[in-house]
Amino acid sequence: MIETTQKIKDRFDELTNLISNPEIIADNKEWKKLVKERNSLENIVEAHDKLYKLLTEKENIEKIIKIEKDNEMKSLFEDELFHLNKKISELEEEIKILLLPKDENDESNVIIEIRQAAGGDESALFARTLMNMYMRYADRNHWKTEITDISETEIGGIKEVTFVIKGKNAYKSLKFESGVHRVQRVPETESQGRVHTSTTTVAVLPEIEEVDFEILDKDLRIDTYRASGAGGQHVNKTDSAVRLTHLPTGIVVTCQDERSQIKNREKAMNILKSKLYDYYKEQIDSEYKANRKNQIGTGDRSERIRTYNFPQGRITDHRINFSIYSLDSFLDGDIQVLIDELLREDQKLKLEHASNHT
């Protein structure tokens, strides 16, 4: 373990020197890349230093035990060695988790798309409930939210919405939200008091600042139109809304949040980059499907991941078979308990996968 972490510490020290090099600093893109890599190693290096200190202490105590003649003193040192070994074992388990492959996008801002699915108006109303839930969760974390595109129904539901949550580790926290969210409740319009089941889909993408592919002008169709509100009502008198169509893939992005066409185009372009990144990543990642059994699952909109049962006040995540009976506070953005469970399960599966391949 210490040999592995020592190599990482050596790389950390090398990066520390590199990012203070004037030539590297002059190349802003390269400097940012190296700083990001260095930051990702900090926790491991800190754990390495602790482990090195504990192992040195252990070595010294073992030497003392070998030469100690006084049985009472020897017993005290053996007791200390026992507790020291326990600390070392616990720290090594922590390091195993730190050494697991990291999602390079974990620290990124996140783009969330919510769409009405089965259930008509009830599905659209629940889409708004989910949007509010994620926005309140963002508020609890002091993150910023920004709606880039929204299509509403006349009764206050949402046909589809795209919004950005900006904050460190936003993607890490919300990446497991992709999939089908099922709601079971009595609609306000239901006179017989029968429980209806509806579904809403959620897609979660990291916001990608820089991409390794080029978006060519010839591959883009850009349409402008007037931004509209609920029921198609126009909310301004200029063609400020922007629709980008990436012709090779058929991916369409719209943005009508800003009054300025230029700003809407810029925001739409950022979302298109993220969608294309996700598209190409899935195309080239040949192990993606094979490794699904080792993952909780992110990105598959057809996978039913969660049920919100209003009569029982219950939320159940089907991937980890975990239920919470605090529906009101959950929908008010108090979702961290479930997020932590999902992250723990993901960690556990990765550890099992790593141990099976060593």
CATH number of the domain encompassing residue 328:
3.30.70.1660
d(CA 358, CA 353): 9
234 and 87 in a common domain: no
Q: What pLDDT score was predicted for residue 291?
A: 45
Q: Is the residue at 290 inside a domain?
A: no
63 and 7 in a common domain: yes
Q: Is the residue at 207 inside a domain?
A: yes
Q: Is the residue at 308 inside a domain?
A: yes
Q: What pLDDT score was predicted for residue 284?
A: 57
Structure tokens at 209: 């600042």
277 and 166 in a common domain: no
Q: Is the residue at 105 inside a domain?
A: no
Q: What pLDDT score was predicted for residue 39?
A: 87
Last residue of a domain, one of 284, 307, 339: 284
Q: What pLDDT score was predicted for residue 232?
A: 47
Last residue of a domain, one of 256, 284, 312: 284
pTM for the whole thing? 0.73
Whichever domain contains 70, its CATH number is: 1.20.58
Q: Is the residue at 147 inside a domain?
A: yes
190 and 249 in a common domain: no
pLDDT digits (tens, 9 = 90+) for 216-236: 888 889 988 876 654 444 444
Q: Is the residue at 357 inside a domain?
A: no
Q: What pLDDT score was predicted for residue 288?
A: 43
If one counts the domains in the chain, the total is: 3
120 and 85 in a common domain: no
> In the chain, which residues have pLDDT < 70?
189, 191, 210-213, 227-239, 283-302, 355-358
Q: Is the residue at 155 inside a domain?
A: yes
Q: What pLDDT score was predicted for residue 159?
A: 93
Select from 55, 200, 61 the least CA-distant residue to 123: 200
Q: Is the residue at 116 inside a domain?
A: yes
Last residue of a domain, one of 284, 319, 342: 284
Q: What pLDDT score was predicted for residue 213?
A: 67
| Domain range enclosing 90 | 2-98
172 and 128 in a common domain: yes
Whichever domain contains 258, its CATH number is: 3.30.160.20
328 and 206 in a common domain: yes
Q: Which amino acid appears at position 298 of this protein?
A: T
304 and 207 in a common domain: yes
115 and 46 in a common domain: no
Q: What pLDDT score was predicted for residue 200?
A: 94
Return mean pLDDT, the chain: 86
